[in-house]
Chains A and B, each alone.
Chain A
Amino acid sequence: MKALEVRNISKMFPGNLANDNISFSVERGEIFAIVGENGAGKSTLMNIIYGIYTASGGDLLVNEKEVKIRSVEDAIKLRMGMVHQEFMLIPRFTVTQNIVIGDEPHKGIFFDYGRAVREVRELSERVSLTVNASALVGDLPVGVQQRVEILKVLRRGAEILIFDEPTAVLTPEETVDLFVTMRKLQAEGKTILFISHKLKEVMEIANRIAVLRRGKLQGIVNKKDTNEEELARMMVGRNVVLEIPKVDVEVGAVAFACHDLHVRNKRGYEAVKGMTFDVHGGEIVGIAGVQGNGQDELVNAMIGFSHPVSGSMELNGKNMRMVTTAQLRKEGMSYITEDRARRGLVMPYTVRENSVMGQHLGKPFSKGIRMDYDKVGEFAEGKVKEYDIRPGDVYDTAGSLSGGNQQKLILARELSLPHNFLIASQPTRGLDVGATEFVYRKLLEEKKAGKAILLISLELSEILGLSDRILVMFEGRIVGETTPDKATEEALGLLMLGVGIDKKVQS
């Protein structure tokens, strides 16, 4: 039986056809994957099915009956549930509150919190997704927040589940757990729509795969009859090199060095507990580690957002321990962030303005207090062409760009700043294969140009493919150093989990 059928669905946003006449159907008990470039229209389609957006045209059928979904209430009544691409959580509420809102256990008008907590505990045990029912969601690592999102959907007894890029923020281990849950749900006869940019995951979990490209359905393939290369080609419309080429460059002088660095996190807890390493010109040093082992705090110290409590930090031989971000940038640091919305770009500003941010003071972009927008515009136009930032209008706001294009804009800006040391923190998070390939190519070009690069990533394949040296970080320390030709994913994975580390060194 068809659990869900989409017929000729279109969605027009002002000046942008996000979904163009899309039709497909999903069998009951099937895991149906949807892939496509950033901005292909995957989330838009899911939001239409779930009643958040109203389609400009087309019909929806649930259990082979035509339905009108005007609001989320309607979708929930049809037993649909959705895990959204961005978390739909309230950090100040507890796990329990977050899970039950909208369908609260109650006595009359009163919210029965005690019963809610019991229900959440029971559910969490039954589906073996462990959460602390009374913890504040804002205190939880993203992986656990994702579990909360999934529990929210499961609690409503959804029959059709939509997962919009649930693995983008998960570690490989958490992804494995999620897949176990998904298979269990499938065995119970639930229908799952799954979106991911990681083609390997898609090939592992899906029965069938739909490919979207620029709002149109490119085709639907059986997992059995396809492979990653073909999927990538269908998505992007050209051959995509998934292999990262090897580039050999003469290693230059030390650009960045730190010694016995200690950094506290926001709560005053020491998250980096004495790290010593250096990065030379012409090399990429990769930091591998499970999220939450001090990577964020390390980066914050390196970009001048927080000052280390002790230890030394040098850039091009100059002491940089207690300096501001501006001074670091002046000395030649550039920074690519995974947090595009909060750190990378000012979303309501235009592409033009974002492209010069940080170098807008002084020549050539301003004279005294006056911005020279002609020069800025010229510069932005040039970068848009060079980096192929789509749709390509420099007057578009950064917020209106797809994730991949936002990342290209950040790269364009950071790489055009005078620098010899580049920090790339999860530079491909949430990016499609095409954009990922682009980022890799740019990083390798940087290396060829003799820049020093520090790459922090949760993706082992990325670390192994790009780095010249790999440092493994665990609980705020470097617990191992290796090179890609000597390391395997398995060995690295174990090190990242702290397995086999001498306990004496740790304490």
Chain B
Amino acid sequence: MNITQINLTIAQMLDYTTPILFAALCGVLSENAGVVNIGLDGIMRFGAFFGLVGAFFSHSPWIGLLLGIAIGCLVGALHAFITIRWNGDQTVAGTAVNVIAVGLMTYLLEFVFSTTGYSPQLQNYFGAQAYRVHLPFLAKIPLLGAFSNLSFMIWLGFICTVLMHVLLYHTVLGLRIRTCGENPKAATTLGINVSRVRWFAVVAGAALAGVGGAALSISSFSGFSDSMPNGVGFIGLAAMIFGKWTPFGALGAALLFGTGQIVQSIIAVTGIAPKLAPGLTLILPYVLTLAVLAGFVGRSIAPAADGLPYYKEQR
């Protein structure tokens, strides 16, 4: 492989990484406040479809992105309403979101575009040359060259990681979010409104999952496919755990899983694939996920009150 090929491969790896990263960041924010959101895979599906719809009808990926954020907030609010307002079981609520997302998007795809399987392709999407972030001065430098021509969404992912780190570890709100995730009762005794903080974390997190979905349909790809997000949300959850519920940890894990995806494509391209069973390379990233989960999860500790409903008068 020459430099250009290597750069292209890295760029593609980052393309795979970004949706995983957004999903993981959604989990990091929500779970640091103590709310498990396994519905984020479903939220991504919402985001992917509505992102496409926005971009398709407005001919602008920016509108798609906004719509992705909006739908993420909306579904996140539903999750928050069930789990925080009514103390519903977080796993059940999240699963419901996932199930609804599968059926509803398939239906909407047909309803809006009268097609099945794939939406019409976009001309204007973040992956298109016109929408890329051009940094020509990097182009000639080996490895860094990969960053000279990336989709805006990839950069957004990096920016969100840094912002989330600052939020959680350097702001007053971040300290309070983590307090709610560690010991909501203690938070109450300190005069913190646990419900309000958790609402914020769940909705803002879900917005990121919506963006992650949009990153699939209007950045990595130029359209919505009915199989989206292909389990990326769950891989994101794994990345969150592997990254020990921290933003930079999540980024590292997402990069690892992104690499798994690219290895899979390399195997396919270089022609080793025919010798392997066709399905085998497809499951590579998932096997990697499982291996990582089995090997490392024992050593990372979730926020103490993660997943537990809380109401003020409980003992």
- Chain B residues with CB below 8 A from A101, complex form: 175-176, 179, 186-187, 190, 192
B183 within 8 A of A: yes
B312 within 8 A of A: yes
Q: Take A109-B172, A110-B170, A399-B315 as given contacts and tell me if A52 and B186 are in contact as well, using a CB distance cutoff of 8 Å.
A: no
Q: Are B185 and A88 in contact (CB under 8 A)?
A: yes
Stretch of A70-78, A439-447, A468-476 at the chain-chain interface: A70-78
A395 within 8 A of B: no
A104 to B171, CA, bound (A): 10
Q: B residues 166-199 with Cβ under 8 Å of A?
A: 170-176, 178-179, 182-183, 185-193
A90 to B178, CA, bound (A): 10
A interface majority secondary structure: loop
Which chain A residue has the least Cβ–Cβ distance from B179?
Answer: A101
Q: Are A102 and B192 in contact (CB under 8 A)?
A: yes
Count residues of A near B (Cβ-Cβ below 8 Å): 28
Looking at the assembled complex, report how far the CB atom of A152 sits from the nearest CB atom of chain B, in whole angstroms.
Answer: 8
Looking at the assembled complex, report how far the CB atom of B298 sits from the nearest CB atom of chain A, in whole angstroms.
Answer: 16
A118 within 8 A of B: no
Q: Which residue from B173, B179, B304 sits with its C-beta under 8 Å from A109?
A: B173
Q: Are B171 and A52 in contact (CB under 8 A)?
A: no
Q: Which residue from A50, A76, A90 sits with its C-beta under 8 Å from B182?
A: A90
- Most chain B CB within 10 A, of A50, A54, A90, A399, is at A90
Q: Are A88 and B173 in contact (CB under 8 A)?
A: no
A101 to B181, CA, bound (A): 13
- Most chain B CB within 10 A, of A53, A101, A104, is at A101
Q: Take A52-B312, A93-B182 as given contacts and tell me if A111 and B188 are in contact as well, using a CB distance cutoff of 8 Å.
A: no
Q: Are B313 and A52 in contact (CB under 8 A)?
A: yes
Q: Are B172 and A111 in contact (CB under 8 A)?
A: yes
Contact residue range for chain B?
Answer: 20 to 34
- Most chain B CB within 10 A, of A102, A106, A399, is at A102
Which chain A residue has the least Cβ–Cβ distance from B181?
Answer: A90
Q: Which residue from B172, B183, B192, B313 sits with its C-beta under 8 Å from A89?
A: B183
Q: B residues 286-315 with Cβ under 8 Å of A?
A: 304, 312-313, 315
A101 to B192, CA, bound (A): 9
Q: Are B189 and A52 in contact (CB under 8 A)?
A: yes
Q: Which residue from A53, A71, A88, A104 sits with its C-beta under 8 Å from B175?
A: A104
- Chain A residues with CB below 8 A from B191, complex form: 71-73, 75-76, 102-103
Q: Are A92 and B182 in contact (CB under 8 A)?
A: yes
- Chain B residues with CB below 8 A from A109, complex form: 171-173
- Chain A residues with CB below 8 A from B192, complex form: 101-102
Which chain A residue has the least Cβ–Cβ distance from B192?
Answer: A102
Which chain A residue has the least Cβ–Cβ distance from B171?
Answer: A109
A84 to B304, CA, bound (A): 19
A82 within 8 A of B: yes
A102 to B192, CA, bound (A): 6
A420 within 8 A of B: no
Chain A 33-70 against B: per-residue CB contact (8 Å), 1 yes, 0 no? 00000000000000000101110000000000000000
- Chain B residues with CB below 8 A from A82, complex form: 189
Q: Are A52 and B188 in contact (CB under 8 A)?
A: yes
- Chain A residues with CB below 8 A from B172, complex form: 104, 106, 109-111
Which chain A residue has the least Cβ–Cβ distance from B166?
Answer: A110
- Chain B residues with CB below 8 A from A73, complex form: 191, 193
Looking at the assembled complex, report how far the CB atom of B136 sits from the nearest CB atom of chain A, in whole angstroms.
Answer: 35
Q: Are B170 and A88 in contact (CB under 8 A)?
A: no
- Chain B residues with CB below 8 A from A53, complex form: 312-313
- Chain B residues with CB below 8 A from A72, complex form: 188-191
A93 to B176, CA, bound (A): 12
Looking at the assembled complex, report how far the CB atom of B13 sits from the nearest CB atom of chain A, in whole angstroms.
Answer: 33
Q: Are A90 and B186 in contact (CB under 8 A)?
A: yes
A355 within 8 A of B: no
Q: Are A71 and B189 in contact (CB under 8 A)?
A: no
Q: A residues 252-292 with Cβ under 8 Å of B?
A: none
- Chain B residues with CB below 8 A from A467, complex form: none
Looking at the assembled complex, report how far the CB atom of B259 sits from the nearest CB atom of chain A, in whole angstroms.
Answer: 31
Q: Which residue from B176, B183, B313 sits with its C-beta under 8 Å from A88?
A: B183
Q: A residues 228-254 with Cβ under 8 Å of B?
A: none
Looking at the assembled complex, report how far the CB atom of A75 sits from the nearest CB atom of chain B, in whole angstroms.
Answer: 8
Chain B 38-70 against A: per-residue CB contact (8 Å), 1 yes, 0 no? 000000000000000000000000000000000
Looking at the assembled complex, report how far the CB atom of B200 sits from the nearest CB atom of chain A, in whole angstroms.
Answer: 13
- Most chain A CB within 10 A, of B172, B174, B179, is at B172
A39 to B171, CA, bound (A): 40
5 additional contacts (CB under 8 A) given A84-B189, A89-B183? A71-B193, A72-B190, A76-B191, A101-B179, A101-B187
| 9 A-B pairs with the lowest CB-CB distances in the bound complex, closest first | A102-B190, A88-B186, A90-B182, A73-B191, A72-B191, A76-B191, A88-B189, A104-B172, A102-B191
Footprint of A on B, CB under 8 Å? 170-176, 178-179, 182-183, 185-193, 304, 312-313, 315
A-B contact pairs, 5 of them (CB 8 A): A88-B185, A88-B189, A90-B179, A102-B187, A102-B190
